[in-house]
Structure 1
Amino acid sequence: MTAAVTKEPAALLEKKLHKGQRHFTLNEAAASTGLYVDDARNALDELIKKYVCRLQVTENGDLIYDFGKNLLRRGEKTFEEKMAQLRERLWQLFTVIYKAWIAVTLVVYFVLFVIILIALILAMSAGKKDGKVRGPSLETLGNIFASIFRWRTNTGTVLYRTDRRGYPYRQYEPRPSPLNENKKSFIASVYDFVFGPARVEIDPLHNQKEVAAYLRKQNGIIVTSELCALAGWNFPQAETFLTDCLVRFQGEVKVSDNGVMYGQFDELLRGLDKVEPYKIVHYWDEYEPDYQLAGNSPGRNLVIILMNAFNLIFAFYLLTNLLPALTAPGGPADMLPGLGDWIAAHDFAAYLLLGWIPLIFSVLFFAIPLLRWFKISKARRQRHRNNIRKRLFKAIYQENGNPQTAAQIHQIVNTGAREEQLPVSLVESVLREVALDLPGDTLVSAEGQVQYAFPRIGYELKEVTTLRSQSRRAETLGKIIMDSEN
């Protein structure tokens, strides 16, 4: 009986959501369903665990629950996200197939490796007589051959680099060559020439871990402005993420006496303090990884281009000249002793194996990086703009969202910066975008200058400082009074 009573309020309110009524206050939820206010509150708490919800607070302190235009279960992907995931999987499948194709193509040279190996064995055998060993060891030659099939082109170790504009970023260490550990593997260079080096992957739960660590340092209280500072979100995104944190970490949403919505997470504060804390890095201190076309030296790229260009030209020559001549009736089969007779007898296989397959392979070898270049060029421009946005965020938060002109922000971001010096026009352009995201107000000073103000940041940061100073929560677990071993 109790279970039925518990489920009924949530079921009643859920029907409203499915009918399209997804934007209301607690009192409206109670009035529209006929529930007690406390039952409606419990039902809403249950529903925000089930569906994505954005929490807002009005200037009068009323809490608004917004379940969005489309009702979306937590953890469920949108149609756009599903399509993006499908495209990503198809690209990964093609990458595997084409890398296998590259590997198989390289195996053709195995015969040449065997000949070289025999020569090296003879050389080493002769060298043992005078105590000298010439050439690489058998193990090294084996590593060279095995490296053809190591499709991962990095070691997984993260290094820190700085791009040409002075922005530091993280990058994977390239896989070293079996012959020289200080140089990138040539085979890895070939794979990266086509598909590009992998960017550093971000932990899918990075934001959640970072917020949890931040809460433990900040007395278990957080406001949406701080979420924006940690992840660079706009306020709608931060408000939606706050509800996710409330569900994930068993927090409680509250509204202060001054009308500021905040999350309180008392449970997160309790612990032994023996777990290594997660690193907290604000949005403006973590620049995006660079987009690289190949990640190789110019000389290495030139060698790869010449090799594939030779294959491309020779395959085209075979298709248009040599193979037609050899397969024609009475053709000069003696032009290629042994092979010419085979080509004349197996013209279809000859065209396929010696002509079309290497030609298609070589065309794709150049076409894929060319198409990637267009995509990467756009991504690089966006990355540059995102990095500028990070610098502006820092300047805005340093002044607690107080009114500033574009020239003042320009001075803040450029003074003592290791990154590029930004022109005022670019600062103002990106600043207008940031003002729409946060959002901000455009004011005119007494001197007639346009100023950008972000009042919500200012009063939320001020209010959360007061809330933390007033909060008195027991963070220690206390003495152990019962032990399973006793």
Structure 2
Amino acid sequence: MADDPNKLELTHNVESRILKSLRKRKGVATAGDVAADTGLGYEQVDWALQQMLDLYKSHLDVDDEGNLRYRFDPALTRRGADPGRTWRKVKRVAWRTFVVVFKVWTMAMLVGYTIAFILLILAASLAAIGASASSDEGGDIGDAVMLPFMLVARFLEYMFWWNLFSSPNQGYYGNRRRRSRGGMFGGMGRKPYQKPSKAFYQKIFDYLFGPELPKADPLAPARAFAEFARSRNGRITAADWASRTGQSLDEAHNALGASLGRFRGDVDVTDDGTLVYRFDDLMVTADEADMRPRSALAPVWERKVTVPSFTGNDKKSNTRISLLNGFNLFMALAVLLVVQGLPLAAVIGLGWIPLIFSAMFFAIPLLRKRAHNKRAKQAEVENERRQALQVVFESAEHGGIARPVPEAAIPPTFQNSFLLDYEGDIQVTNASQNVYTFERLATDFEDGRRAREQANEVVFGKTVFSSDKEEKDLDEEAMEEFDRRLAMELGGDVFEVEQAQAAYAQVGR
């Protein structure tokens, strides 16, 4: 008696037995092989293997008689597995903690010590200014006494947008009558106060750690995939998805297999052996306007990788920040090397502490610059690779015929990897020139096109369920983990970079 599919369940015991069989067979088996190895019922094994296609890196082969062969990664690696994830997470948490602590320390040190050093310098000359001003008939002694406090106030205004002396519609020093006064500060408030685009303290943080970008959407890869599937009438081949992500054909098959469970997909096999991944349910819509042609995800070579600005600040702001910290560094060195007879507490407080902080303040951007330059180089290489991919994929989009690609059209760095990743061949022309052909890509593109043409007649307006898979109740944490793994399979690193670029552009505006 056949097992009722509605009552089947992939328990830990069933999965463990099947994994034991697959390990013995190095990941390649049919449902009959596994049933014979485990003693489980054929229907249960067949159903369980279909569920495990979503969980483990795998492929599904179909022969000319419709028999299924399951090919799992010999290591039986779960989709989205990330061996170093825990260690990287620890490092990220440690870095974020350091950033928060150093930001607080920065405000205490950079602002506090700058003000302290200004006051010390002014205090040393205040007596002379007062003596000189007391002999003047104009009585400017009041302005002289207020000088250090006004400079500190102006510094705080610049740092935090605080407008201490006027309303937003007035100048720094109040009404017209006060601005027209003579004396030392008579002309300082003539220009109205204008709030800068970014507070100076935020520019300091960006100088240290780079501009902070909004968090990337973990569902962006899945959303991009679903929209692309809809734009292709729910019919996608590995070549289609590889042309959008830059993945190899094997990686694209893994990504599409991982998407079957999420989007209730199925697989058709053409006479040429091409796997066409079918997502009928994605085509069902309640809005007839949604039946219009959709804008597909652009090919990967049309989406260039860029590296966000190192600080996000203009050169003038970075120069001011460098001078500000340089001032503290200079004063700390002066306390340690020039001033004599200070108590130990003053030497530590006014010398060593600001010296250590100022050195770290300059060291952090210098160390970060190395990583920034490395990312810039990686982006340059990736853009070169994407440009070369355009030649490869466009050579295969000609009615199932792969046009030869001259060897010189593909940079030597990528030639071997392209041949392996896209199942290419090397041929020698009559002129003794090497050319590359990518017949597998051409077949995939053509079979996908034909499948989409046939799908036009049956998909729209019909509710089609391509599988009997029941959705599992997952708690929020488990669902987030599932989304993370699926995003990795779909080329999440590609979309994460592009999200960061878009977010940075939005921040820049």
**TM-score for both structures, normalised by structure 2:** 0.68
The yes-or-no answer on 1:252 pairing with 2:269 is no
Distance 2:275 2:179 in 1: 84
2:277 — aligned with what? 263
The yes-or-no answer on 1:103 pairing with 2:120 is no
Answer yes or no: is the 8 Å Cα contact 1:251–1:264 preserved in 2. Answer: yes
SS of the residue aligned with 2:8? helix
Distance 2:212 2:180 in 1: 47
- The residue type paired with residue 380 of structure 2 is H
- The residue type paired with residue 460 of structure 2 is E
Answer yes or no: is the 8 Å Cα contact 1:396–1:402 preserved in 2. Answer: no
The yes-or-no answer on 1:456 pairing with 2:465 is no
The structure-2 alpha-carbon separation of the partners of 1:56 and 1:384, relative to structure 1 and needing over 3 Å to count, comes to farther
Answer yes or no: is the 8 Å Cα contact 2:284–2:460 preserved in 1. Answer: yes
Equivalent position to 2:461, from 476, 479, 482: 476
The yes-or-no answer on 1:319 pairing with 2:323 is no
The Cα of 1:57 is off from its aligned counterpart by 3.4
1:84 — aligned with what? 88
Answer yes or no: is the 8 Å Cα contact 1:13–1:29 preserved in 2. Answer: no
The structure-2 alpha-carbon separation of the partners of 1:353 and 1:439, relative to structure 1 and needing over 3 Å to count, comes to farther
Equivalent position to 1:42, from 44, 47, 59: 47
The Cα of 1:362 is off from its aligned counterpart by 1.0
Answer yes or no: is the 8 Å Cα contact 1:210–1:278 preserved in 2. Answer: no
The Cα of 1:81 is off from its aligned counterpart by 2.3
The yes-or-no answer on 1:282 pairing with 2:299 is yes
The structure-2 alpha-carbon separation of the partners of 1:250 and 1:375, relative to structure 1 and needing over 3 Å to count, comes to same
1:383 — aligned with what? 379
Q: Which moved more, 1:66-75 or 1:277-286?
A: 66-75
The Cα of 1:105 is off from its aligned counterpart by 2.9
Equivalent position to 1:440, from 409, 421, 424: 424
Answer yes or no: is the 8 Å Cα contact 1:199–1:291 preserved in 2. Answer: no
Distance 1:128 1:357 in 2: 41
SS of the residue aligned with 1:451? strand
Answer yes or no: is the 8 Å Cα contact 2:243–2:299 preserved in 1. Answer: yes
1:64-213 map, 5 Å: 64-73=69-78, 77-108=81-112, 112-114=151-153, 123-125=173-175, 127=177, 134-135=189-190, 179-181=195-197, 185-198=199-212, 202-213=216-227
The structure-2 alpha-carbon separation of the partners of 1:206 and 1:122, relative to structure 1 and needing over 3 Å to count, comes to closer
The Cα of 1:44 is off from its aligned counterpart by 1.1
The structure-2 alpha-carbon separation of the partners of 1:123 and 1:212, relative to structure 1 and needing over 3 Å to count, comes to closer
Distance 2:172 2:453 in 1: 80
1:155 — aligned with what? none
1:422 — aligned with what? none
2:358 — aligned with what? 362
The Cα of 1:459 is off from its aligned counterpart by 0.7
1:332 — aligned with what? none
Equivalent position to 1:16, from 15, 18, 25: 18
The Cα of 1:93 is off from its aligned counterpart by 1.9
The Cα of 1:179 is off from its aligned counterpart by 3.3
Answer yes or no: is the 8 Å Cα contact 1:10–1:40 preserved in 2. Answer: no
Distance 1:213 1:458 in 2: 23
Equivalent position to 2:369, from 367, 373, 378: 373
The structure-2 alpha-carbon separation of the partners of 1:30 and 1:10, relative to structure 1 and needing over 3 Å to count, comes to farther
* 5+ long unaligned stretches in structure 1: 141-177, 328-343, 411-426, 479-486
The structure-2 alpha-carbon separation of the partners of 1:469 and 1:194, relative to structure 1 and needing over 3 Å to count, comes to same
Distance 1:32 1:449 in 2: 52
1:383-462 map, 5 Å: 383-400=379-396, 402-407=403-408, 409=409, 427-462=411-446
Answer yes or no: is the 8 Å Cα contact 1:53–1:67 preserved in 2. Answer: yes
Per-residue CA distance 1:29-63 (angstroms, 9 max, x = gap): 334334454432211122234x2322153786865
* 5+ long unaligned stretches in structure 2: 116-148, 156-162, 182-186, 397-401, 464-509
Q: Which moved more, 1:458-467 or 1:267-276?
A: 267-276
Per-residue CA distance 1:242-265 (angstroms, 9 max, x = gap): 122101101112322321112111
Distance 1:115 1:211 in 2: 53
SS of the residue aligned with 1:237? helix
1:149 — aligned with what? none
The Cα of 1:353 is off from its aligned counterpart by 2.6
The structure-2 alpha-carbon separation of the partners of 1:26 and 1:445, relative to structure 1 and needing over 3 Å to count, comes to same
SS of the residue aligned with 1:124? coil
The Cα of 1:268 is off from its aligned counterpart by 0.8
The structure-2 alpha-carbon separation of the partners of 1:34 and 1:115, relative to structure 1 and needing over 3 Å to count, comes to closer
The Cα of 1:460 is off from its aligned counterpart by 0.6
Answer yes or no: is the 8 Å Cα contact 1:213–1:279 preserved in 2. Answer: yes
How many residues end up aligned between the 2 structures?
397
SS of the residue aligned with 1:429? helix
Per-residue CA distance 1:154-182 (angstroms, 9 max, x = gap): xxxxxxxxxxxxxxxxxxxxxxxx6344x
Distance 1:361 1:396 in 2: 53
C-alpha RMSD of matched pairs (Å): 3.6
1:341 — aligned with what? none
Distance 2:260 2:387 in 1: 29
Q: Which protein, 1 or 2, shows the higher relative CO under an 8 Å CA cutoff with sep ≥ 6?
A: 2
Answer yes or no: is the 8 Å Cα contact 2:62–2:269 preserved in 1. Answer: no
